[in-house]
Structure 1
Amino acid sequence: LTNLCSLTGIACIPIQRWRHFHYLLNFMLGLAVSALFAAAVMVLIPEVSAFVTSYSLEEVPLEFGGQGFGYLRKLAFIPTGLYLFFIIEYLLLIAPRVFKVGAAIVLIHNGYIPTLDIRSASGQEEQAVAKASSCPCCTLANFTEVKPVAWMILLGDSVHNFMDGIAIAAGFTQSPSIGLTLSLCVLLEELPHELGDFAVLISSGFSIKAALCVNFISACSAYLGMIVGLLIGEASGDGSFYVFAAMAGVFLYISLSDMLPELRRSLEKAEKHNKSSLVVFLLEFAGLMVGCFCVVFVMLYSHSFMH
């Protein structure tokens, strides 16, 4: 279901000229921020803490709430996830210079900015619409005309989706409610992300069909991640909890470092252009509230859904 988000980018073509489209994106971005943050704080970290409590009671020092140094050892994997994603973003940042592929590639390193600047690609999208019906989606001639930024976006998405797959699979090995909650969070995060990626792929030279094709192939890396997550969860009783700790760091990094600043920038942009920043604020705040509510709702009632 989460992989189908890679196909939703085509929806941006008919509705991107809607006057209030950017308001919809602001709301969706608020949803994603809140869902990821809530999943990290209310689902993943408590699961790791429960694991620490059940395995660390034999360590009697009073440090860390009387749970011993095992508490610190397990929770240390939370910043590990943050470090990992920071390293990945840095590698994507220096890739243009290392491989000498051109400066246009820096577009990918603005976090989730493409989701708010999606209309900048409208000219290229019109050209793509005109030629979509006449050219095959996957030919070598088409791919040679694609700007390097598109390939870097696809590479980054593949890594991102792979990690999401690991988290979802590890969640289902422990509890259906955890797996469903993580799936929901990934779904809410992928929707605005894929809309932005699709616009950049179109503006980088892909036809509509080709953009849908390669974006879906990139999303399929989540299946590889799910295989790895299932192997980790089944092979080691502790493995899933280490995955939870690392992914909590990743979710916190994405929500607070990559996505939350976009909410702030959209408010500043609305205020600067004498637009109603109050409307933008209310939509973003509504997204934050609804995203958290969705996580809580799934956690409370997922067992009922399963039965």
Structure 2
Amino acid sequence: MLIEIIIATFLVSLVSFVGILITSKHLQKIIHYLISFAAASLISVVFFDLIPESLEILPSEEFLNSLAYIVGGIVLFFLIETFLHWHHCGKERIHKKPTGSLLLGGDFFHNFFDGLLIAGSFLIGNQTGMLVTFSVLIHEIPHEVGNFAVLVHSGFKRKKALLLNFYSALSAVLGGILGYFLLDSISYIIPYLILVSAGGLLYIALSDIVPSMHEHIKEGHTGLAETLIFVLTVIFFKIFLTLVH
């Protein structure tokens, strides 16, 4: 059973290399559209996936308290970003880098929770495990494309962005292994950790990525295409995540 979990989570991690399909030449032409896609995908994952997933586990009386954990995640990622700005103060182009670093941190936990989910599904049965793995794999494809775009926009070279995205995605394997051995012991804290992660990803989307869209509009672009991509991406994720859950 452990071998199946490791294989499944590793396959999900490999999805992070989807950015390799986008050539450097085309990336420069579509980066602003991918940034709009990334912002919409992060916001959609937070509101249509992470928060509902945690609220399904928590008792109903914990609903109001759950908001505090989301706010806590926002504050935590704000403090981390502030520290990164201080730590790298004065370095060339470093004003872009914290966004990518924060995204990797938030996505590390997101993928870790996916690993826990896959482990739990395999503990129910192989068929359930394979179905859940396929579902996670499919919904990670557009999400990882967005992550790759944000990392490149944050100043990382294409090759480094791919590798860092993959290293972050490998936390799914860690989540799968720990889930196999410790799921019963740590299950009570998982929904709270998911909410903190949701708050962090929401902070990244609204404070860093959406402003990047606005900067592009200020440079003389109408922003109509970016806005349309944003709206359509949210609609797509709402329909898609409803179908796979």
Q: Choose from 13, 20, 24 the match for 1:13.
A: 24
Q: What is the DSSP-based 3-state SS (H/G/I as helix, E as strand, rest coil) of the residue aligned with 2:187? A: coil
Alignment of 1:101-112 (within 5 A): 102-109=91-98, 111=99
| Cross-structure match for 1:53 | 59
Deviation at 1:96, TM superposition (A): 1.6
For residues 257-295 of structure 1, give each alpha carbon's deviation from its aligned partner in whole angstroms, at most 9, with x where no partner exists.
2223333333333xx2xx554344333333333333332
CA distance in 2, matches of 1:179, 1:82: 29
CA distance in 2, matches of 1:214, 1:252: 21
Matched residue type, 1:220:
Y
Question: Relative to 1, partners in 2 of residues 1:243 and 1:179: Cα closer, same or farther, differing over 3 Å?
Answer: farther
> In the alignment, does 2:196 pair up with 1:190?
no
For residues 128-170 of structure 1, give each alpha carbon's deviation from its aligned partner in whole angstroms, at most 9, with x where no partner exists.
xxxxxxxxxxxxxxxxxxxxxxxxx6x6565344223223223
Unaligned stretches of 5+ in structure 2?
1-11, 122-128
Matched residue type, 1:257:
S
CA distance in 2, matches of 1:182, 1:90: 32
In 1, are the aligned partners of 2:34 and 2:146 still within 8 Å (CA)? yes
CA distance in 2, matches of 1:73, 1:191: 33
CA distance in 1, matches of 2:203, 2:137: 18
Question: Relative to 1, partners in 2 of residues 1:189 and 1:260: Cα closer, same or farther, differing over 3 Å?
Answer: farther
Q: What's the RMSD between the two structures over aligned residues?
A: 3.6
In 2, are the aligned partners of 1:181 and 1:295 still within 8 Å (CA)? no
For residues 222-258 of structure 1, give each alpha carbon's deviation from its aligned partner in whole angstroms, at most 9, with x where no partner exists.
3246425744644223122122222221232223222
Q: Which has the higher helix share?
A: 2
TM-score between the two structures when normalised by the length of structure 1 = 0.57
In 1, are the aligned partners of 2:37 and 2:146 still within 8 Å (CA)? no
The 10-residue stretch of structure 1 (222-231 or 239-248) with the greater mean CA deviation from structure 2? 222-231
In 2, are the aligned partners of 1:92 and 1:156 still within 8 Å (CA)? no
Deviation at 1:218, TM superposition (A): 5.9
> In the alignment, does 2:116 pair up with 1:170?
yes
Alignment of 1:1-307 (within 5 A): 1-6=12-17, 8-9=19-20, 11-16=22-27, 21-22=29-30, 25-53=31-59, 67=61, 70-97=62-89, 102-109=91-98, 111=99, 158-173=104-119, 186-195=140-149, 197-198=151-152, 200-202=155-157, 212=159, 215-216=162-163, 219-224=166-171, 226-228=173-175, 230-231=178-179, 233-269=183-219, 272=220, 275-299=221-245
Deviation at 1:86, TM superposition (A): 1.8
Unaligned stretches of 5+ in structure 1?
55-66, 112-152, 203-210, 300-307
CA distance in 1, matches of 2:119, 2:216: 39
Question: Relative to 1, partners in 2 of residues 1:73 and 1:284: Cα closer, same or farther, differing over 3 Å?
Answer: closer
CA distance in 1, matches of 2:35, 2:93: 25
Question: Relative to 1, partners in 2 of residues 1:195 and 1:3: Cα closer, same or farther, differing over 3 Å?
Answer: farther
CA distance in 2, matches of 1:218, 1:5: 6
CA distance in 1, matches of 2:159, 2:52: 37
Matched residue type, 1:15:
H
| Cross-structure match for 2:125 | none
CA distance in 1, matches of 2:211, 2:201: 15
In 1, are the aligned partners of 2:108 and 2:169 still within 8 Å (CA)? yes
Question: Relative to 1, partners in 2 of residues 1:88 and 1:246: Cα closer, same or farther, differing over 3 Å?
Answer: same
